[in-house]
Amino acid sequence: MKRYFIPHRAGIIATVLCVLVTVGVNLYLPYLMRLVIDGLTEQTLGKAELGRLLAIYLSAGVFSIYFSRQLRKIPLKLSHKIEYALRTDVFEHLTRLDQEFYRGERTGDLMTRMSSDINMIRDAIGQGLLQGIRTIGVLIFASMVMMLTEPKLAGLVFALYIPMVVIFFLLLKVMRRHQKELQEHVSEVSNFSQESFSGIRTIKGFALERRRNGQFKKLNRDLVKKNMRLQASRQSLWPFMAFWFSLGMILILNIGGRKIIEGKLTLGTLTQFIQYLLYMQWPLLALSWTMSLVQRGKVSWTRVKEILDKEPSIKENGTVEPVARVSDASICFQDLKLQIDGRTFLKDIDLKIPSGTTLGITGPTGSGKTLLVSLVARLMDPTEGAVLIGNEDIRDMPLVQLRCMIGFAAQEPVLFSRTLEHNIGFGVEKPDKNLIGWAAEIAHLRNDVENFPDQFQTVLGERGVTLSGGQRQRTAISRAIARRPDILILDDVLSAVDTQTEAAIMSKLQPVMAERTTLFVSHRVSTLRYADRIVVIEDGHITQQGTHEELIRRPGYYAELNTMQQLEEKLEAGS
């Protein structure tokens, strides 16, 4: 945290300075008031003298207001700068963290840390500086001045304010407890509502509406009850403070008043004191509020720091110097084993994919196909064994270089809410129109694009065109091939397109695949047959491998798949 404050040393010093000036002036003005009042009482004040005092009052006031503004502006602006720097750092760190991290985190939780937690830290810094320094300044200097003017009255003010702050603090504590109880109940009510709305079919199906309404009524009634309990403490806060203040006022008037009557004190001094009493009230009350703010800021900071302390598990090994451009894009899995959280997902994988050939991968859902292809792009590292590209262990290559070689398209691709052009050219430094057009053509996306409102400039996502599953997959294929990669990885990317489109894409994709080493995962025999070789992965290991012709004759998963899909075709042809 310290390193975020260091660049803002000047700002912090300026804040202290502002506090000194504003506190000084605010303690000085009541003194001027006293001079005027006493002058008037004792009839020693002339018109000119009054004018002079008022002129000083005016200039001191204007002076102080300027600093009073800076006192708020400087620390708050500073807090926003720190917020900005911190959020940038966290995001930068997040772009370096890998799948191992993202697997364990929910996006919602990360979002909370990036927004509300960092906002909380910022508020703690801004208000902490502002209120903290101010309160300290007010306390020290006001007590000093009060002691110097009239020690006995000063003692009375302290005697009053100490219990006031304590009681205020306790009230806040009670309030916060009720607040928490209320919050819990509120989330209970919203859970109940959420459940009622998402389970509406079951509720209507069993005609439960009346019972549900009855239960809601009870929750709702408790909500009122809990709310009122909170109000009982919250509403007391201000009247209590105001009453306590009236009490202080009358005590000072009474004790000071006696002294005036006895001639030991002037009305001016008494007025000066009352002004101090007023002046000290708010900073003291703000103190307990600021303290809880800082407390919550600390909690948020530990949550944010958790992210910053996470190290990526995919590390650059040794030199970051790029190895000479790998001419040979053959892939080799060597005696590979992958465990995640103690569970084995892949084992005994030994495969050689010669440069320029195509490997088809199939197998039941959850057998480890996606994990296998992820290893090539180093989305994770194998527990044992190695992945080689052109006989080079990929762990010895710089990540950037490795990923530059690869075009990756996933079954459920993530597209960004930007133009289609941006999405297709996503992995290319400076994409030109020809390249985008070519990539769209290969993925059979051309016709779709022509029907979009702004063709390639069409924005995708919520505020633009929502793509169908098939269109998303085809966009992902375009994105992958637009990089003109040495290695093409297609992870079940045609699962959402119909058979005719699939055939059209495959015929266009064929020449593109022929120039590169291709791994493609699929459940469809009609696609897999294009591969030079096919492996079947069941329960984390290879159970069958060979060409399409070989495999359909061998009893096993692949032959079964083939029969079923032929039946399906017959069914579709009949419709």
Partner 1 sequence: MKMAKRLLAYSLPYWRALTIAFGLILFTSLAINYLPVLIQRLTDQCLMNTASPAAERIDLLLKLSILYISIAAAGHGVRYLQGILTAWIGQRIIYDLRLEVFQKVLRMQQAYFDKTAVGTLMTRVTSDIERLQHFVTEGVVGTVADLFMLLGIMGYMIYISPVLSLAIFITLPFIFAYMILINVKLRNANRDIRDRQSKLNALLQEDLTGMTTIQLFNREAATMADFDERHTHLRSAYFEEVRWFSLYFPTVEGGQMLAILLILAVGGLFILKGSETITLGIFVAFLAYIRDFFRPLGSLSDKAGSFQVALASIERVFALLDSSEEVNDPPEPESPERIAGSIAFNNVWFAYNDDNWVIKDLSFAVEPGQVLAVVGATGAGKSTIINLIGRFYDVQQGSVSIDGTDVREFGKHDLRSRLGYVFQDPFIFTGSVADNISLQTPGIDRPDIVRAAKTVNAHRFIEAMPKGYDSVLNERGAGLSLGQKQLLVMARTLAQNPELLFVLDEATASVDTATEMLIQDALAKLMANRTSIVIAHRLSTIRHADRILVMRHGELVDQGTHDELMARDGYYRQLYELLLHSPE
Binders of partner 1 in range 205-244 (CB under 8 A): 205-213, 216-217, 220-221, 223-224, 227-228, 231-232, 235-236, 238-240, 242-243
Report the b/e string of 448-482 with b at 16+ CB within 10 A: bbeebeeebebbbeeebbebeebbbbbbbbbbbbb
Q: Which two tokens stand for residue 213?
A: 């309404």
Q: Provide the minimum distance between the beta carbon of 335 and partner 1 in the complex, in angstroms, as a whole number.
A: 25
Of 52, 96, 177, 315, the residue at the interface with partner 1 (CB under 8 A) is 96
The closest alpha carbon to 409, from 431, 439, 453, belongs to 439
| 260 is an interface residue for partner 1 by CB under 8 A | yes
Pairing of strands 487-491, 406-409: parallel
| Number of residues binding to partner 1, judged by CB under 8 A | 133
Site for partner 1 in 457-496 (CB under 8 A): 479, 483
| 92 is an interface residue for partner 1 by CB under 8 A | yes
Of 250, 308, 323, 504, the residue at the interface with partner 1 (CB under 8 A) is 250
The region of 264-272, 319-327, 337-345, 503-511 touching partner 1 under the rule CB under 8 A is 264-272
Residues in contact with partner 1, shown as a per-residue x/- string from 303 to 342 under the rule CB under 8 A: ----------------------------------------
Site for partner 1 in 20-39 (CB under 8 A): 29, 33, 36-37
Separation CA 91–CA 307 (nearest Å)? 10
| 246 is an interface residue for partner 1 by CB under 8 A | yes
DSSP 29-45: HHHHHHHHHHHHHTT--
| 284 is an interface residue for partner 1 by CB under 8 A | no
Of 52, 77, 325, 446, the residue at the interface with partner 1 (CB under 8 A) is 77
Q: Provide the minimum distance between the beta carbon of 350 and partner 1 in the complex, in angstroms, as a whole number.
A: 25
If the CB atoms of residues 335 and 556 are measured against partner 1, the closer one turns out to be 556
If the CB atoms of residues 532 and 538 are measured against partner 1, the closer one turns out to be 538
| 552 is an interface residue for partner 1 by CB under 8 A | no
If the CB atoms of residues 189 and 284 are measured against partner 1, the closer one turns out to be 189
Site for partner 1 in 112-171 (CB under 8 A): 114-115
Separation CA 306–CA 311 (nearest Å)? 10
Separation CA 139–CA 19 (nearest Å)? 11
Neighbours of 264 (CB within 10 A): 12
Q: Which two tokens stand for residue 103?
A: 């697997």
Give me the amino acid identity at 129. Answer: L
Rounded to 5, what percent of the chain is helix, strand, coil? 70, 10, 20
Paired with 459 in beta bridges are 419
**Backbone φ/ψ region at 139: left (φ over 0), alpha (ψ -120 to 50), beta:** alpha
| 59 is an interface residue for partner 1 by CB under 8 A | no
Of 202, 319, 466, 507, the residue at the interface with partner 1 (CB under 8 A) is 202
Neighbours of 405 (CB within 10 A): 21
| 95 is an interface residue for partner 1 by CB under 8 A | yes
The region of 2-10, 170-178, 322-330, 396-404 touching partner 1 under the rule CB under 8 A is 396-404
The region of 87-95, 303-311, 448-456, 542-550 touching partner 1 under the rule CB under 8 A is 87-95
What SS3 class is residue 532? coil
Measure the N-to-C terminal CA separation of the chain; round to a whole number of Å: 67
If the CB atoms of residues 324 and 571 are measured against partner 1, the closer one turns out to be 571
Place of tokens 């197998």: 363
Of 11, 61, 128, 464, the residue at the interface with partner 1 (CB under 8 A) is 61
Decide if 280 contacts 138 (C-beta within 8 A): yes
User: Which residues lie closer than 8 Å to 81 by C-beta, 6 or more apart?
Assistant: 8
Place of tokens 């060979």: 546
Separation CA 551–CA 261 (nearest Å)? 114
The region of 47-55, 176-184, 293-301, 340-348 touching partner 1 under the rule CB under 8 A is 47-55
| 553 is an interface residue for partner 1 by CB under 8 A | no
Give me the amino acid identity at 14. Answer: A
Q: Provide the minimum distance between the beta carbon of 568 and partner 1 in the complex, in angstroms, as a whole number.
A: 6
Of 416, 433, 454, 547, the residue at the interface with partner 1 (CB under 8 A) is 416
